[in-house]
Amino acid sequence: MPKIVSISKPIITKEEEKAVLSVLRSGILAQGEKVNKLEKRFSSYVGTKYAIAVSNGSLALLLSLLAHGIGKGDEVITTPFSFIASSNAILFASAKPVFVDIDASSFNINPDLVEEKITKKTKALLIVHLFGCPCQMDKILKIVKKHKLILIEDACQAHGAEYKAKKVGSFGTGCFSFYATKNMTTGEGGMITTNDKMIADKIRLLRNHGSKVRYYHEELGFNFRMTDIQAAIGVEQLKKLDKLNGIRVRNALIFNKMLDGIKGIITPKILPDIIHVFHQYTIRVTKEFSLTRDELAEKLKAKGIQTGIFYPLPIHKQKLYQRLGYNDRLPVSERISKEVLSLPVHPGIIKKNIEYIIKSIIKEGE
Ligand SMILES: *Cc1c(COP(=O)(O)O)cnc(C)c1O
């Protein structure tokens, strides 16, 4: 039995250590040249004119909504199957999240169900490219255009993912997280990508207490900045992103090949016109499997294999949302939350351990 096979692991090497040390020795620790550098490189990577670094991904979402003028009385259509931040950002902006059920094969919002939820109050569509899998952008963009909606992309799990050769985060206002477990990290950190100069300028103002000229304040902002220490890590992480994403994809393909066809296990589909960056490799354990999802997770844990359940309870079913009066029935997300199981796919996992995980699952399924 190997030591614990962990579900995620940041890849930090000498380059990050050197970069941080040089910032520490420079004496300029807060937002400065390194943040500028990371912003420039990130915008050119994603293919947008602007990128604005902020303290974390949740704030990237909130600031995007605020910069677009979304607030009280506005409805924002979003997915119930995500990390809570994507929906809580809407609440923090004083707007109302409206949930649309997901498509079972991609775990993403089902574009075919969006239009029936559009009302006069609908101002934006906040989609999540969950687990690193791009949403069906052709359909999404058609709806956005037809109903003149603002498009916010939660790409917090999808750095480098592409839909028809275009990077996610470049279709609308893109929001990224650099939290420790994401495909690239700065410890904590976030980034907003946009082609709209007005939005970029507005976010820069909001990020810095509404101030362009020091100690002169044009509007209500706050401190949402990133430090140069974080940005220095980010610059190094970005250089490695494509390579590390490639390893995630390779790992996912090994899992798919070996797990496909096992009764009661549904593996993630990889569609031809997308690049899925496998922030998580998530299978579904259905009733046909010999164990329940939770039993399988327990068995794997006993063998030293960490797994993850993202997410055990859809957002509209969370206590907070129940208190707010949400009583939607969203059957796909409700069922899927009981079936999902994420296996370690991160670039730090060795092939021998992938084989060990596969063998362990096959054995439990017998
Ligand atoms: C991580 C994550 C966020 C929030 O990012 P933080 O940097 O942790 O604030 C938002 N949405 C999704 C889908 C995420 O996975």
- 208 phi/psi in degrees, rounded to 5: -130, 50
pTM score, whole prediction:
0.98
CA distance 282 to 341: 5
CA of 55 to the centre of ligand 1 (A): 12
Indicate the average pLDDT of the chain: 97
Residue 83 beta carbon below 6 angstroms from any ligand 1 atom: yes
Name the residue among 141, 158, 159 with its Cα closest to residue 150.
141
Q: Whose CA is nearest to atom 10 of ligand 1?
A: 85
Is 2 a residue whose pLDDT tops 90? no
Name the residue among 239, 232, 305, 238 with its Cα closest to residue 25.
232
**What confidence category does residue 91 fall into, taking pLDDT thresholds of 50, 70 and 90?**
very high
Which tokens sit at 312?
Answer: 């055990």
Residue 56 beta carbon below 6 angstroms from any ligand 1 atom: yes
Please, what's the b/e burial string for 225-256 (b: 16 or more CB within 10 A of its CB; e: otherwise)?
bbbbbbbbbbbbbbebbeebbebbbebbebbe
Residue 82 beta carbon below 6 angstroms from any ligand 1 atom: yes
* 3-class state of residue 135 by DSSP: coil
Identify the pLDDT of residue 1. 60
> Which atom from ligand 1 is nearest to the alpha carbon of 279?
15
Share of the chain above pLDDT 70, in %: 99
Identify the pLDDT of residue 35. 98
Name the residue among 108, 100, 77, 81 with its Cα closest to residue 90.
77
pLDDT digits (tens, 9 = 90+) for 318-358: 999 999 999 999 999 999 999 999 999 999 999 999 999 99
CA of 78 to the centre of ligand 1 (A): 15
Residue 116 DSSP symbol: G
Identify the pLDDT of residue 346. 97
